[in-house]
Chains A and B, each alone.
Chain A
Amino acid sequence: MKKIIALLLALALCVGLVACNKTSSDEPADEPANEPATTTVKAGFIFLHDENSTYDLNFINAAKEACEKLGVEYLLKTGIPEGQECYDAAAELIDEGCNFIFADSFGHEPFLLQAAKEFPDVQFFHATGTQAHTAGVSNYHNGFASIYEGRFLGGVAAGLKLNEMIANGEITEDQAKVGYIGAFPYAEVKSGYTSFFLGVRYVCPSATMEVTFTNSWYDPTLEKEGATKLISRGCVLISEHADSMGAPTECEANNVPFVFYNGSAADACPNTFIVASRIDWAPYMEYAMECMKNGETVPADWTGTIATGSVKLTEINEAAAAAGTEEKLAEVKALLESGALKVFDTTTFTVNGETLTEYLADVDDMGDFVPETNVIADGFFHESEYRSAPYFDIDIDGITNIDA
C-alpha cells in the first residue's frame, strides 16, 4: 500500500512540475506584443558530433563565443546525424523559438535546405555547403573561409622544419617527404592538402608529399593507421585533414613532427606539434546575427579570410617548430593579405609537367558534375571566389596518392 501511495505521490509531483514548466514557457510568447524595432535573435546550433570531435569543438567554441559576445540566447544540439534527424532538430529548435539555425556538417545541407523552404521566417546558415548560391531560397545561406591560406602558412612552418632537419643532417634534401592524411578525396580536402604542399615547397623546393585517405571524417583508428603507414614509408613530417586525435598521438609516439588542423594539440603532443590552422567561425556567426538584428540581408554565400579573422593559426609550439618560424609566418601572412602572394599561383605548380592556363570547375553544384566555370585568370587559380566552398580538385605534380 505504501508503495502505491509513493508511486501516486511521485506521479503527482511529475504532473505538477510539467504543468509549472508549461506556464513558464507560455510567458515569452506574450512578449512580442511590445516588440522593439530590431529583431531579437535566438540561435539554435546543430552539430554532427559532440566536443570530442576537434571539428565540432571548433564550431561549439565559436558558437558560444559569438552568442556570448552579442548577448544572444542560444541552444546547442550535438550528435545530429546527416539524415532526417537534422530536419527534425532544426524544426525542434524553431519550436523552442529559435530564428537563427546553424548546422556544421556538409551532409546536413539537403535536410537543412528542406527546413529552410518550410520555415521562410527563420534564417538558416550552413557551414561548408555548396547549394545556397544556386538554390534560390532567400533564407538559406552557406559560409566558409579561405582556409587554404591558413594551410599554406601551416605548410610554410612545415617547410621550415624540413629545412632545419636538412641543415642538421637528419635527412637529405631528397628525403624531405611529407605525409598527409585526408578524409575524402574531394575538393575540400584536395584544396587543403595542395595549399599545404605549396606552402611547404615555398620554402623547401625539394619536398614531395604522399597522401592517404580514411574515407571518414572521424575515425581515430584509421587516422592513426594512416600516420603509421606514412611514417613507415619514410615521411618525416605529417599533416592531416580529418577530425580526431588519432594521427597526432601516433606522431608524438614516433617523434615525428606534424602540422594539425582545427585546434592546438600542444597539450597532448608537446614534442611534435608545430602549429595548426583553423577556421574561426565566430566572425561569420557574429556577422550573420548582426545582419539579422538590423534587418539586413546576409549574402547567400560568404567567404571569410585572414582579414575577417576567419582564418587563424594557433600558437606556434617552440619546442617542435624550427627557429625563426614566427617571423617567417608573419612575413608570408602579410604578403597573402596584401595580395602580393597567391596560394594557387599557376607558376608554382604543374599538372603532368605542364602549367595550367585555364581550368573548368564544377562551381554550380546541380548534381550534374558538369564543370562550367573557368577559374584560372591573371596567373592564379581563383579559389573560393565563385562560391565559398572550395572547388580546387586538381592533382598536381609532386603529390602521390598512395591509395590509388
Chain B
Amino acid sequence: MNNNQRTPLFHISKRSALPWYSAWAIRGSAILLALLLCGIITSLVTGENPFQIYVAIFNGSFGTIRKFWVLLQNIAMLLCVSLAVTPAFRMRCWNLGAEGQSLIGGLAAAACMILLANKLPNWAVIVCMIVFSILAGAAWAAIPAIFKARWNTNETLFTLMMNYVATQLVAYYCVVWESPKGSGNIGIINPNTQIGWFPTIGNQKYLLNILIVAVLCVVMYIYLNYSKHGYEISVVGESERTARYVGIKVDRVIVRTMLLSGAVCGLAGLLLVGSTNHTLTPTIVDGRGFTAVMVSWLAKFNPIWMILTSFLLVFLGRGASEIATNFGLNRSFGDILTGVILFCIIGSEFFLNYKINFRKSAEKED
C-alpha cells in the first residue's frame, strides 16, 4: 500500500489568529472574486457589458445628490433595525421578530396620528407617538422574552411567529382606517394639517432620521462595550451558567435586553411612519427585520462595523433596481448579483478561520 494514496488531496485545519493585513487581503480578494463572477454571469446571461453594469450599480447610490440622500436614508433605517437586534444577538438570543416589532411601533405611531389629530396640539401628538411606539415595540418583544425567561421557550420561533401576528394586525387596521372606503389603503395621514409629521431639518426630509440613527449607533456602541449592562449581556451570551455563577440574574438580563431590542425596533417603526412615509402599510418595514440579521451578523455584532455592512446591503439593493431600470432587466437579476457577492463575502469568513492544507506531494509538483 502506498502511503501517499491514503492521504486526502487536502484537509482543513483551524487557523491561529491572522495578522490584520492577511485578513483584509482575504476579504478584498473575496470581493474581487465576487465582482469577477458577477461579470461573467452578466455577460453570459444578458450579453451586457459587465463594466456598464458595475457603473450602473455605483450610480444607483451615487448617481445624483438625491440618490445619495436616499442611500443615506435607507442605510439609516436598516441600521436602526440592525442596532435593535444586536443586543439580543450578543446575548445569543435570536430575536427574529424585528419586522413585527417595528411594524407594531409604526402602528402605534399611526394610531396616535389618526386618533389624536385635532384633539391634542401637534407637539403633544408627537410626544404620544414617541412614547407609544417605543412602548409598543418593547411590549411586542417582551412577550417572547418573558416566555423564554420563565419557561425557556424557543425565542427564534416565538419572535418569528409574532411577525405574522403584527402583519395581520396592521392589515386589519389598514382596513379600519382606509381611505377611500374598501380600498384597504390608508393613504397619507393628515395630508393638510401635517399633524404628527416630524419636522424636517434644513429642507432635507431624511436628515432627521439619519441624525437620530447616527446618535443611536454611537450610544449603542458605548452601551454594549463600556456599560455594566453591556458586560452582563456578553457574559450571558458566552455562558448562562457562568453568568449565574458570578451572580448575574440571567432572566432579568434576557427580559431587559429584549425590551431594549423591541424598543429600538419601535423607534424604527416610528421613524418610518412619522418621519418618512406618513402612512402605514403592512409592507412598510420592507423586510428590514430580516436583512438586519445579516447586517448584524456580518459586522460581528459591532455597531460601528454595522454602518459598513448596512451600507453594503443597501448599496447592492439600490444598484439592483438601477440595473433593472437602465438595462430593462428584471430586478431579480440584481438580486442574483447581490446573492453572488454576499456568498463570496460570507464564504471568505471561512478562510479567515480555517486554512486548507494540500497534500505534500501536490505541493512538490508545484
User: CB within 8 Å of B: which residues of A?
Assistant: 3, 6-7, 10, 13-14, 17-18, 21, 50-51, 75-79, 81-84, 88, 91-92, 95, 106-107, 109-111, 114, 130, 184-190, 215-216, 362, 365, 367, 369, 393
Q: Are A107 and B182 in contact (CB under 8 A)?
A: no
Closest partner residue, chain A, to B26 (CB atom): A3
* Residue of A107, A114, A369 contacting most chain B CB atoms (<10 Å): A107
Cβ-based interface call for B171 (8 A): yes
Cβ-based interface call for B276 (8 A): yes
Q: Are B283 and A81 in contact (CB under 8 A)?
A: yes
Known A83-B284, A107-B183, A367-B179; further 17 A-B contacts with Cβ < 8 A:
A7-B32, A13-B51, A18-B55, A50-B332, A75-B326, A81-B283, A81-B284, A81-B286, A82-B279, A83-B277, A92-B66, A107-B185, A186-B182, A187-B182, A189-B182, A365-B180, A369-B180
CB distance from A386 to the nearest CB of B (A): 15
Q: Are A184 and B184 in contact (CB under 8 A)?
A: yes
Tell me, in angstroms, the Cα distance from A81 to B331 when the chains sit together. 14
Q: Given A215, A365, A367, which contacts B184 in the complex, CB threshold below 8 Å?
A: A215
Q: Are B58 and A18 in contact (CB under 8 A)?
A: yes
CB distance from B44 to the nearest CB of A (A): 21
Tell me, in angstroms, the Cα distance from A21 to B58 when the chains sit together. 11
Pick 16 A–B contacts, CB within 8 A, sort by A. A13-B51, A17-B51, A17-B54, A21-B55, A50-B331, A75-B326, A76-B328, A78-B330, A81-B286, A84-B276, A91-B66, A109-B187, A186-B180, A190-B182, A369-B181, A393-B181
Cβ-based interface call for B214 (8 A): no
CB distance from B325 to the nearest CB of A (A): 5
Cβ-based interface call for B67 (8 A): yes
CB distance from A83 to the nearest CB of B (A): 4
Tell me, in angstroms, the Cα distance from A189 to B324 when the chains sit together. 31
CB distance from A198 to the nearest CB of B (A): 20
Q: Are A111 and B55 in contact (CB under 8 A)?
A: no
Cβ-based interface call for B281 (8 A): yes
Tell me, in angstroms, the Cα distance from A92 to B324 when the chains sit together. 14
Tell me, in angstroms, the Cα distance from A184 to B179 when the chains sit together. 12
Provide the residues of chain A in CB contact with B55, threshold 8 Å. 14, 17-18, 21
CB distance from B244 to the nearest CB of A (A): 46
Q: Are A21 and B59 in contact (CB under 8 A)?
A: yes
Tell me, in angstroms, the Cα distance from A284 to B191 when the chains sit together. 29
Given A17-B54, A81-B283, A187-B180, also A215-B70 (CB < 8 A): no
CB distance from B109 to the nearest CB of A (A): 14
Provide the residues of chain B in CB contact with A186, threshold 8 Å. 180-184
Closest partner residue, chain A, to B171 (CB atom): A215
Closest partner residue, chain A, to B36 (CB atom): A10
Provide the residues of chain B in CB contact with A107, threshold 8 Å. 183, 185, 187, 281
Tell me, in angstroms, the Cα distance from A114 to B194 when the chains sit together. 13
Provide the residues of chain A in CB contact with B324, threshold 8 Å. 50, 76-79
CB distance from B195 to the nearest CB of A (A): 14
Q: Are A184 and B183 in contact (CB under 8 A)?
A: yes
Cβ-based interface call for B339 (8 A): no
Provide the residues of chain B in CB contact with A18, threshold 8 Å. 55, 58-59
Q: Are B281 and A83 in contact (CB under 8 A)?
A: yes
Provide the residues of chain A in CB contact with B362, threshold 8 Å. none
Q: Are A106 and B183 in contact (CB under 8 A)?
A: yes
Tell me, in angstroms, the Cα distance from A83 to B331 when the chains sit together. 19
Provide the residues of chain B in CB contact with A114, threshold 8 Å. 188
User: CB within 8 Å of A: which residues of B?
Assistant: 25, 28-29, 32, 35, 51, 54-55, 58-59, 64, 66-67, 70, 171, 175, 179-185, 187-188, 191, 276-279, 281, 283-284, 286, 321, 324-326, 328, 330-332
Closest partner residue, chain A, to B320 (CB atom): A79
Given A76-B328, A187-B180, also A3-B54 (CB < 8 A): no
Q: Are A88 and B58 in contact (CB under 8 A)?
A: no
Provide the residues of chain A in CB contact with B183, threshold 8 Å. 106-107, 184, 186, 188
CB distance from A87 to the nearest CB of B (A): 9
Closest partner residue, chain A, to B283 (CB atom): A81
Tell me, in angstroms, the Cα distance from A20 to B283 when the chains sit together. 38
Tell me, in angstroms, the Cα distance from A82 to B55 when the chains sit together. 28
Closest partner residue, chain B, to A107 (CB atom): B185
Tell me, in angstroms, the Cα distance from A156 to B279 when the chains sit together. 41
Q: Are A79 and B66 in contact (CB under 8 A)?
A: no
* Residue of B55, B279, B325 contacting most chain A CB atoms (<10 Å): B325
Closest partner residue, chain A, to B326 (CB atom): A75
Q: Are A84 and B51 in contact (CB under 8 A)?
A: no
CB distance from B167 to the nearest CB of A (A): 11
Tell me, in angstroms, the Cα distance from A50 to B329 when the chains sit together. 10
CB distance from B247 to the nearest CB of A (A): 48
Provide the residues of chain A in CB contact with B67, threshold 8 Å. 92, 95
Tell me, in angstroms, the Cα distance from A14 to B279 when the chains sit together. 39
Tell me, in angstroms, the Cα distance from A188 to B180 when the chains sit together. 11
Provide the residues of chain B in CB contact with A185, threshold 8 Å. 182
Q: Given A50, A81, A187, which contacts B330 in the complex, CB threshold below 8 Å?
A: A50
Closest partner residue, chain A, to B180 (CB atom): A365
Tell me, in angstroms, the Cα distance from A79 to B332 when the chains sit together. 10
Provide the residues of chain B in CB contact with A110, threshold 8 Å. 187-188, 191, 279
Closest partner residue, chain A, to B183 (CB atom): A186
Tell me, in angstroms, the Cα distance from A3 to B28 when the chains sit together. 8
CB distance from A35 to the nearest CB of B (A): 23
Tell me, in angstroms, the Cα distance from A6 to B51 when the chains sit together. 16
Provide the residues of chain B in CB contact with A130, threshold 8 Å. 180
CB distance from A314 to the nearest CB of B (A): 24
Tell me, in angstroms, the Cα distance from A111 to B205 when the chains sit together. 14
Q: Which 6 A-B pairs have the closest CB atoms?
A: A186-B182, A110-B188, A83-B277, A184-B184, A84-B277, A107-B185
